[in-house]
Amino acid sequence: MAKNKIRVGIVQFFSDPKNPGENLEKAVTYIELLTEKSIDLILLPEMFNTGYGTSEEVLNNAVEMYDETIETLSAVADFNDVAIVGGIARKAGKDLYNSTVVMLPYNDPLFYDKTHLFRKEKEVFKPGKTLFTFSYSGVNFGVLMCYEIGFPEVSRTLVKKGAHILLVPFAFGRERELIYETTTRARAIENGAFLVTASQIGKSSEMEFIGRSRIVSPGGRLLADAGNAEGIIWAELNLSEIDTYRYTEKGDSHGYFANFREDLYE
């Protein structure tokens, strides 16, 4: 890694399907507040610009808001020299995808298309075909989305591809709070990786969202947690902790990577 430390920020808010323009405006306002904290990368929730859902209204919003969303994020990323990552639905050819856009300064957008779809998502979105990592400022990131937190294989594959930090946009139902609490810590601990989530809050016609956006250390500690409030959180990540937790067996360090039996899993 080229850097020993990196500063990441999170935006947490309710994205209203009836006001897509206001959603984008609100996201930009919070992004600009985070840039005042010398943040390197900012994470937004799943379907942050249109509201989460599978209704015709939401899907129409996604198509109509796509160009403006990409142009706006690109301009903000370039002007502030900050990476912006967030969930959007997008149309590619005839297919709709529940995607995450990665907007690096002075670059074209990159996309991860959600590979494991949940409930009604399967009726309207096409699943992605590949897992996704990217590098920024000498640090490797892996992207997964919401429901995919429950598939350990996704996070482990991203880490084996080199990810130091896992980024997870969420629009997660409050009734599954135990799953969220358990898996966000577990994926960080078992992979010796930082895990960063950005969640929606509030209540839509489809579900009540959990909020609780968080930054989890490779040892499972909460470095920041947004609770149920709309707003921003951030933390400086000490990347030297990654090797410590993956490969040493001192104190609270688990050393799972040093003792992993590759020969058993072929």
Q: What is the mean pLDDT of the chain?
A: 97
Contacts of 143 (CB under 8 A, 6+ apart): 85, 100, 102, 112, 132, 133, 134, 158, 166, 167, 168
Task: Give the β-pairing of 110-113 and 83-92.
Answer: unpaired
User: Does the predicted model carry a pTM greater than 0.95?
Assistant: yes
Mean pLDDT on 49-74: 96
At 191, the pLDDT band (50, 70, 90 cuts) reads very high
Query: Known catalytic residue: 114?
Result: yes
87-97: per-residue pLDDT in tens? 999 999 999 99
> Which pLDDT does position 205 carry in this prediction?
85
Check pLDDT > 90 for residue 186: yes
Catalytic residue, from 26, 146, 148, 241: name it. Answer: 146
Check pLDDT > 80 for residue 1: no
Nearest Cα to 213, choosing from 205, 202, 201, 221?
A: 201
234-262: per-residue pLDDT in tens? 999 999 999 999 999 999 999 999 999 99
Check pLDDT > 90 for residue 2: no
129-173: per-residue pLDDT in tens? 999 999 999 999 999 999 999 999 999 999 999 999 999 999 999
Q: How far is CA 190 from CA 81, 243, 258, in A?
A: 32, 13, 12
The count of residues in the chain is 266
Query: Known catalytic residue: 46?
Result: yes
Catalytic residue, from 36, 57, 64, 114: name it. Answer: 114
> Which pLDDT does position 75 carry in this prediction?
98
> Which pLDDT does position 3 carry in this prediction?
76
CB distance 114 to 98 below 8 Å: yes
Mean pLDDT on 207-231: 97
Catalytic residue, from 26, 46, 121, 241: name it. Answer: 46
